[in-house]
Amino acid sequence: MSARRRRVAAPRLSARGVPARSRVTVRRSDAPLQRSTTLATALRDSREALGSLQGELDALLASLRAADGAPPASAAERLRTATRVATTAFASLDAFRR
């Protein structure tokens, strides 16, 4: 008897080709990740603006409670600026309303 050996083909890795416009490659204009990053930034800005506004109000209240009871001359302008910044920060959150 002759031993006949069969040749076995080398295993081939079968990789499916990805279509040119698959779900992975198509970019949507309203990507959730991009939106959440922008929302996180807007929330952080509004939190910082509120903290600044609260700091100005605390300083104004402390100066009114002081012995002389007179706030510094720049207090009104600092409070106006902090209010303007907080208003702008909250207005930027309006874009994320559903």
The pLDDT of residue 36 is 66
DSSP state of 67: S
Question: How far apart are the C-alpha atoms of 71 and 59, rounded to whole Å?
Answer: 9
Binned at pLDDT 50, 70 and 90, residue 34 comes out as low
* Span 84-98, pLDDT tens digits: 999 999 998 888 887
Q: Is the pTM of this model over 0.75?
A: no
> What's the mean pLDDT when you consider all of the chain?
79
Q: Which residues of 46-63 are buried (b: 16+ CB within 10 A; e: fewer)?
A: beebeebbeebeeebeee
Residue 53: both structure tokens together: 């506004």
Binned at pLDDT 50, 70 and 90, residue 58 comes out as very high
